[in-house]
Amino acid sequence: MSETQSIENDAKARIAAAADLAALEVLRVEFLGKQGSVSALMKTLGKMSPEERQTRGPEIQALRQAVTDELAARKDVLEAEALEAKLAAETLDLTLPASEAPCGSVHPVSQVMDELAEIFADLGFAVATGPEIEDDWYNFTALNMPESHPARAMHDTFYFPDTAPKGGKMLLRTHTSPVQVRTMLAEGAPLRIIAPGRVYRSDSDATHTPMFHQIEGLVIDKGIHLGHLKWTLETFLKAFFENEDIVIRLRPSYFPFTEPSVEADVGFELVDGKRVLGGSGDKPGHGWMELLGSGMVNRRVIEMSGLDPDEWQGFAFGIGVDRLAMLKYGMDDLRAFFDGDARWLQHYGFSALAQPTLSAGVGERA
Ligand code: 2NL
């Protein structure tokens, strides 16, 4: 038997016996690799006489082709076998329950804002929004806060280096009141709006974050008085806390944008050392907790908002949304609201599909 014939027989037998793709690769290197036996035969061609090369050349080329074809054919078979084995190992059990998809939750601040929008919608209030970057006229001047007002100090408010188009300073709004000024200027009176949103103060400690959420309410109409304010606050707080026993106390206060100004306290009872909202704070074992600021809109603010204060009156109020969420849902650290910790969000978040309704109370937890 010729040398090429014996190499071919040996190659065929061993390729057919290769158990897997790794074993096949070893054989490829052994025959066709740089140091392989077929390659060694190819190299001998260079040292042959032209006559010898004429007969041996095609023979060796044919061997190389045969081994290459055998390797390719066996590779196809082994690959098909490997795929079969993989598919057999991976069969799906369609009777198994589907694995649970990861699911986000609604942030308590968003949840509370939705609840407030719903409660005030039932009282005839529309939701108004406006820019978080304001100029100092809308944020301060229109709200009767003169140049000398301490809230305008550099260390209390975030200013931008840019100048507003009308020449004022640009800043991050410190309350949502400018939204209400803009709405009065754009839409006139009568008006019933709430303005929820992000506000900013240069303040950061255990109970203050530089960004927080506020909701303000504004009613402008003819003959509006403090009685309307008190009823509206009582009605909203009873609906929000889902407790008909909510009692509020109005206390004289001062804000530049309202006159008179009143702060509303809510009565609570101490139960096992914990505050439970409800009942008059004057009863034994009870107390009052400061909740929000409000008042009759200062006539200068009404004027600067383009309305005649002898014709139109109004009341306004402002509340921290984050604080309302803490009171209703029992979180104790404000800073955790803005950490973005998924575990906190899973614990305190709400299901996106459970819509809060007044009849069914708030949505179910996520
Ligand atoms: C608080 C509570 C308050 C207002 C906000 C307001 C808005 C306009 C006119 C008049 Cl456009 N008032 N908002 C009124 C009273 C209180 O926020 O503690 N603020 C420092």
Q: Which residue has the CA at smallest separation from atom 3 of ligand 1?
A: 318
At 366 the pLDDT is 47
- Alpha-helical runs (H) found in 37-153: 37-44, 50-89, 108-122, 136-139
Residue whose pair of structure tokens reads 């032209």 in the numeric block: 50
Give CA torsion, residues 349, 352, 356, 361, to 10 deg: -50
- Ligand 1 pocket, 301 CB below 6 A? yes
What is the C-alpha separation between 15 and 21, in angstroms, rounded?
10
- Ligand 1 pocket, 112 CB below 6 A? no
- Ligand 1 pocket, 295 CB below 6 A? yes
Per-residue burial over 188-222, b = 16 or more CB atoms within 10 Å of its CB, e = otherwise: ebebbbbbbbebbbeeeeeeebebbbbbbbbbbee
At 329 the pLDDT is 92
At 70 the pLDDT is 93
Residue by residue, pLDDT tens for the chain (366 residues) are 788 888 889 999 999 999 999 999 999 999 999 998 888 888 888 888 888 888 888 899 998 999 999 999 999 999 999 999 898 888 888 899 988 888 888 999 999 999 999 999 999 999 999 999 999 999 999 999 988 888 888 888 999 998 888 788 999 999 999 999 999 999 999 999 999 999 999 988 888 899 999 999 999 999 999 999 999 999 999 999 999 999 999 999 999 999 999 999 999 999 998 999 999 999 999 999 999 999 999 999 999 999 999 999 999 999 999 999 999 998 988 889 999 999 999 999 988 776 655 554 554 544
What is the C-alpha separation between 363 and 360, in angstroms, rounded?
8
Tell me the whole-structure pTM to 2 decimals. Answer: 0.73
- Ligand 1 pocket, 176 CB below 6 A? no
Ligand 1 centroid from CA 216, angstroms:
7
- Ligand 1 pocket, 263 CB below 6 A? no
What is the C-alpha separation between 348 and 329, in angstroms, rounded?
8
Ligand 1 centroid from CA 217, angstroms:
8
Element (H, E) at 314: strand 313-320
- Catalogue the long-range contacts made by 25-29 (C-beta closer than 8 Å, 24 or more residues apart): 27/71, 28/71
| Site to substitute for ligand 1 among 125, 143, 194, 258, most atoms within 8 A of C-beta | 258
Q: Which atom of ligand 1 is nearest to the CA of 214?
A: 17
At 147 the pLDDT is 86
At 358 the pLDDT is 55
Amino acid at 24: L
Ligand 1 centroid from CA 189, angstroms:
18
DSSP letter (8 states) at residue 356: -
Task: Tell me the two tokens of residue 272.
Answer: 């096992």
φ and ψ of 98, to 5 deg = -65, 145
**How many residues does the structure list for the chain?**
366
